[in-house]
Structure 1
Amino acid sequence: MVTLGILVAVVVLLETLGEVRTEGGLVKGKNIRLGFRRTMDIFKGIPFADIPGRFEKPKPHPGWDGTLRATEYAKRCLQLNLIQNDVRGSEDCLYLNIWVPHGRVVSNNLPVMVWIFGGGFLAGGSMGANFLDNYLYDGQEIADRGNVIVVTFGYRVGTLGFLSTGDSGLPGNFGLWDQHTAIAWVNRNIQAFGGDPNNVTIFGESAGGAGVSFQTISPHNKGLINRAISQSGTAICPWAVNRNPRKFAEEVALKVNCPTDDRMAACLKMTDPVALTMAGDLNLSGSPDKPIVFNLKLSPTIDGDFLPDEPHNLFHNAAEIDYIAGVNDMDGHLFTGLDVPSVNSQLVDTTIEEVRSLLASYTREKGPVGADHAYSTYTSTWGTKPSRETVKKTVVDIGTDFIFLVPTQTALYLHASHATTGRTYSFLFSEPNRLGGVITPFPSWMGADHADDLQYVFGKPFTTPLGYWPRHRDVSRYMISYWTNFAKTGDPNIGDLSVPVPWPRFTSEGHRYLDISHKTDHNSVGHRMRLRYVHFWTTELRHNLNQI
């Protein structure tokens, strides 16, 4: 009995990392049991850089004495709250979180998946939104089911992360530098946590998906990234690059009583961070003639350093990186529902004038001719008397195409055409919104809205089962299987988890994609996603993309 007791104690001991030595010092997280001979070490709040200087690149952390208790999420980076009337978070925010699953023995050489959160470059945190202690970006389900290490981290957003004067005085992209620094830290330290530094996948959604894309095409990440997944956002999206950052910087400067001449950058650097953050508020109310997407002015810039050129000219840097990119089938609903509120009304029709006005805004560089051509393209299947639903869904399609789908297809084309060893995969997520037809403002015809995919990637149907149906667990299982197989092998079909149907590669000739929902089967493989509309925006109105 004594021998058996010692044996059990040894097994328990082997199933936790205990104290881990990082470049900054020792860290100790929390160990939880998941089942028979299955445990997980969770580390929260490990610093990957020092408190950043205002409008400066991140600096190495000086380290600490003793053992750091890494059991609580660090604060989000300083940012505006949802209604933009106050701030939350801290400048001391460059921390990361790690989930490490173990089986019979402590894990070793596991694939690593590094998450970049979204939020329009304006808001968000490493842990995501939460209800009580249920955090959206909790990596436990992905790590456990996929047998991978999951890392999430914070980066600067809003004014402190992306304000730029358009010159060397205040070049911007500080949030992108934070992302890069976190990825580099993982590369240097993850082996001590049982991870493989030579098998790192970065994945993210919305602005985080664009962040993933920016990290793959920046020359500063050479050799740090093996695979990448962009969900509803790439560097080609029209909101992903600000080509006139100085205009907004001057607006911020005036709000905080700084000059707008050559003294502006120095003054901004000395200004109170809360005042700077408050001054970065944006007009997030839209209309058909002034779409909300044009108001997202705090975004990355072509700084000549992290981004030395236009994004479409940098895809050669991703030639050896395996890449998945895709969108939700009604990604644009979140935006067009604000620009054209009648879309969500069961009582009010969406008018032809609203459709024309929205298209005129998106095609503004081409003038009336472009708007007319766009209108004829999107209404060609209407017939003489389109139904109320048809008109409303067309508005959502227009927003989805312009803001997400076409730029993502463009990024896939660019990746596939420049790839050497890197493989390319395309997806469309189409699981209907869970609130569609239940409560307003979600119409019964709703597909997958922007961010609807997040709950499935992070396994919420398993962690909060009472809020979902069995079909939702199917969707979550499929996505975790494809995503973690890809992280392990570069092929979403090959790994430890079975998938419902083989996902073919996207090539410069085939343009194939997988439609992901609870119905995913052999009929879910398509090709040339919305080709007519992709062709319209990229060929006939190619100057419109990336012109915001």
Structure 2
Amino acid sequence: MMLRILALAALCLGSTSAASLGVVYTEGGMVEGKSHSVGLFRDMDTFRGIPFAAPPGRFEKPKPHPGWDGVLKATEFRKRCLQLDFTETQTMGSEDCLYLNIWVPQGRKVSTGLPVMVFIYGGGFLVGSAHGANFLNNYLYDGQEIADRGNVIVVTFNYRVGTLGFLSSGDASGPGNYGLWDQHAAISWVHRNIKAFGGDPNNITIFGESAGAVSVNFQILSPHNKGLIRRAISQSGVALTPWAYNKNPRALAEKVATKVGCPTNESMMSCLRMTDPVALTMATPVALKGSPEDPLVFNLVLCPVVDGDFIPEEPSNLFANAADVDYIVGVNDCDGHIFTGFDVPSVNQPLHHTDPTVVKRLLISMTKEKGEEAAVLAYNVYTSTWGDNPKQETIKRTVVDIETDFLFLVPSQATLYLHTEHAKTGRTYSYVFSMPSRMPGYPSWMGADHADDLQYVFGKPFSTPLGYFPRHRDVSGYMIAYWTNFATSGDPNMGESSVPTHWPTFTNTTNQYLDINDKITKDSVKSNLRTRYVHFWTYTYASLPMVANPSTQ
């Protein structure tokens, strides 16, 4: 009798299991992914490796995919775009790399009209992939937790990086921004096809981190995306950051050409197009080293350019194009730490003394366009509370604050003001992520380092629970709730998920932001983020005359 009851229960459960898409018709042909259970009456349809464009021509914009016959089995991630590996001594990936991945949550009925979240990865425009770093089969950019918990469709995709993605001759022979065009092609594909997967093509949110966050900003500023993007989230990066775009791309292109044996005259791009792609990738100018006199940021020079097309003019002049886009912009409270590790290694070495003069030397380098007066003014601002005998922690934290402000926080604040100033229907939200870093060996005073937020946004404390504590699941739950509510409604407080406190909009008068960590309360809503330092960089420093040739970056 017990066996009969169990068999009947199993039969009933099987007959009321969650729905599945099965074969989906896209513009290129039929695709079939995999479906698996994620809970009672909840399944996840996953599609991996759908082509959104043809294999790209070298230093050319992406072209539509010609399509395929039969049913494409979309069950495996495809290779990343050709790039240097972590040793910088060889390459990995392929030129044939323009593929995307989709996660679709299902209930008892096939989903329809779901909000869509499209993720753009970071990696300094040099490296990265749609699936991210992985340990065994645990991929960083797995969209399952976001999709399941927020009832949204998640999309990730590859785009060209390094020399093949961002080299520019500075003229019409090689305008550059090929990686940004790939991103645009992926977003356009989603807009045209996502309805067949149960998504709402008129409710697409793009989100990204670091170079991906910069890319998000460029995508909503570009006139080529009009009507495609409803909302956007930039995590630790905007188009105004010092490393976001190169003002002198020709010099860099000539260095690459010389490395691979091409001329630097009018035949340069023709020669580069015929050069072996691995050789071109190996010629990618990477200098992951820094010092107070030569900060790492000034070595990150392979990136987007103002090309008169995708980015028609200076980014600060393009915010009218994002007037109807809801936009969240935020930073990690110690975002600059990743750079100080290269520029001032002693910051991470508790037994090593950090000389107070390093602050002045670093500021001289960062303000060289404005000369000695600028460095003096900056030094006075950052050391005003030091006293006569500052502690080592004070000096080291100041170094991290300087790079965080200069590279992330101040440009993000300027972006918030510009978006708010030009907004019509678009809403603006500001945040700081301050969950202390989990990296071993970091100073006890460390907050959230660059990229520390990614594990929480993608729900790793839930998918790999043994590696985290309950407090980590709390902050992950909060971020997924705010992010997916925002994707649903344009308001992070309104959607299917409850949130711990109301997150108000950012305005040019209230300057409110949300401090995100594992202890969010009404007191986590604050205003006037680092006002003194923002004012210095955006007004005092900006008003000083140039006294040297502008940086190439």
Q: Give TM class, smaller chain.
A: over 0.9
Q: Deviations over 1:439-476 (max 9, x none)?
A: 43x11111000000000000000011111110000000
What is the deviation of 1:11? 4.2
Q: Secondary structure at the match of 1:151?
A: strand
Q: Distance in 1 between matches of 2:450 and 2:394?
A: 20
What is the deviation of 1:6? 8.8
1:398 maps to 402
Unmatched 5+ residue regions in structure 1?
Answer: none
1:372-383 matches, cutoff 5 A: 372-383=376-387
1:540 maps to 540
Question: Would the aligned equivalents of 2:27 and 2:193 in 1 still touch at CA under 8 Å?
Answer: yes
The answer to whether the aligner puts 1:152 opposite 2:156 as a matched pair is yes
Question: Would the aligned equivalents of 1:236 and 1:546 in 2 still touch at CA under 8 Å?
Answer: no
2:19 maps to 15
Kindly provide the amino acid, as one letter, of the partner of residue 507 in structure 2.
T
The structure 2 residue matched to 1:189, chosen from 176, 190, 193, is 193
The answer to whether the aligner puts 1:516 opposite 2:516 as a matched pair is yes
What is the deviation of 1:82? 1.5
Kindly provide the amino acid, as one letter, of the partner of residue 90 in structure 2.
D
2:472 maps to 472
Q: Secondary structure at the match of 1:197?
A: strand
Q: Deviations over 1:176-203 (max 9, x none)?
A: 0000000000000000000000100000
2:77 maps to 73
What is the deviation of 1:5? 9.2
What is the deviation of 1:10? 5.8
Task: Give identity over the alignment, percent.
Answer: 65
Q: Distance in 2 between matches of 1:385 and 1:37?
A: 63
2:133 maps to 129
The structure 2 residue matched to 1:371, chosen from 368, 375, 393, is 375
The answer to whether the aligner puts 1:262 opposite 2:276 as a matched pair is no
What is the deviation of 1:345? 1.1
Q: Secondary structure at the match of 1:365?
A: coil
1:495 maps to 495
What is the deviation of 1:367? 1.0
Q: Secondary structure at the match of 1:96?
A: strand
Q: 1:546 to 1:528 in 2, by over 3 A?
A: farther
What is the deviation of 1:83? 2.2
1:109 maps to 113
Kindly provide the amino acid, as one letter, of the partner of residue 459 in structure 2.
G
2:320 maps to 316
Q: Deviations over 1:231-283 (max 9, x none)?
A: 00011111001000011100000000000011111111111000000001311
Kindly provide the amino acid, as one letter, of the partner of residue 164 in structure 1.
S
Q: Distance in 1 between matches of 2:528 and 2:420?
A: 14
1:214 maps to 218
Q: Secondary structure at the match of 1:201?
A: strand
Q: Distance in 1 between matches of 2:334 and 2:308?
A: 35
Q: Secondary structure at the match of 2:100?
A: strand
1:343 maps to 347
Question: Would the aligned equivalents of 1:26 and 1:66 in 2 still touch at CA under 8 Å?
Answer: yes
Question: Would the aligned equivalents of 1:239 and 1:546 in 2 still touch at CA under 8 Å?
Answer: no
Q: Distance in 2 between matches of 1:357 and 1:254?
A: 33
1:415-426 matches, cutoff 5 A: 415-426=419-430
2:336 maps to 332
2:33 maps to 29
1:301 maps to 305
1:140-179 matches, cutoff 5 A: 140-179=144-183
What is the deviation of 1:434? 1.2
What is the deviation of 1:354? 1.1
Kindly provide the amino acid, as one letter, of the partner of residue 81 in structure 2.
C
1:484 maps to 484
Q: Distance in 1 between matches of 2:296 and 2:326?
A: 33
Q: Distance in 2 between matches of 1:513 and 1:107?
A: 34
Please report the TM-score for the alignment, with normalisation by the length of structure 2.
0.96
Q: Distance in 2 between matches of 1:137 and 1:401?
A: 27
Question: Would the aligned equivalents of 1:80 and 1:281 in 2 still touch at CA under 8 Å?
Answer: no
Q: Between Structure 1 and Structure 2, how many residues are aligned?
A: 543
Q: Distance in 2 between matches of 1:420 and 1:111?
A: 22
The answer to whether the aligner puts 1:97 opposite 2:101 as a matched pair is yes
The answer to whether the aligner puts 1:274 opposite 2:278 as a matched pair is yes
Question: Would the aligned equivalents of 1:238 and 1:547 in 2 still touch at CA under 8 Å?
Answer: no
Q: Distance in 1 between matches of 2:106 and 2:411?
A: 39
Kindly provide the amino acid, as one letter, of the partner of residue 41 in structure 2.
R
Q: Secondary structure at the match of 1:123?
A: coil
Unmatched 5+ residue regions in structure 2?
Answer: none
RMSD: 1.6
What is the deviation of 1:521? 0.8
Q: Secondary structure at the match of 1:185?
A: helix
Please, which moves more after superposition, 317-326 or 1-10?
1-10
Q: Distance in 2 between matches of 1:484 and 1:57?
A: 32
Question: Would the aligned equivalents of 1:76 and 1:125 in 2 still touch at CA under 8 Å?
Answer: yes
2:365 maps to 361
What is the deviation of 1:347? 1.2
Please, which moves more after superposition, 405-414 or 2-11?
2-11
Please, which moves more after superposition, 313-322 or 31-40?
31-40
2:458 maps to 458
Q: Distance in 2 between matches of 1:7 and 1:395?
A: 63
Question: Would the aligned equivalents of 1:226 and 1:322 in 2 still touch at CA under 8 Å?
Answer: yes
Q: Distance in 2 between matches of 1:270 and 1:489?
A: 48
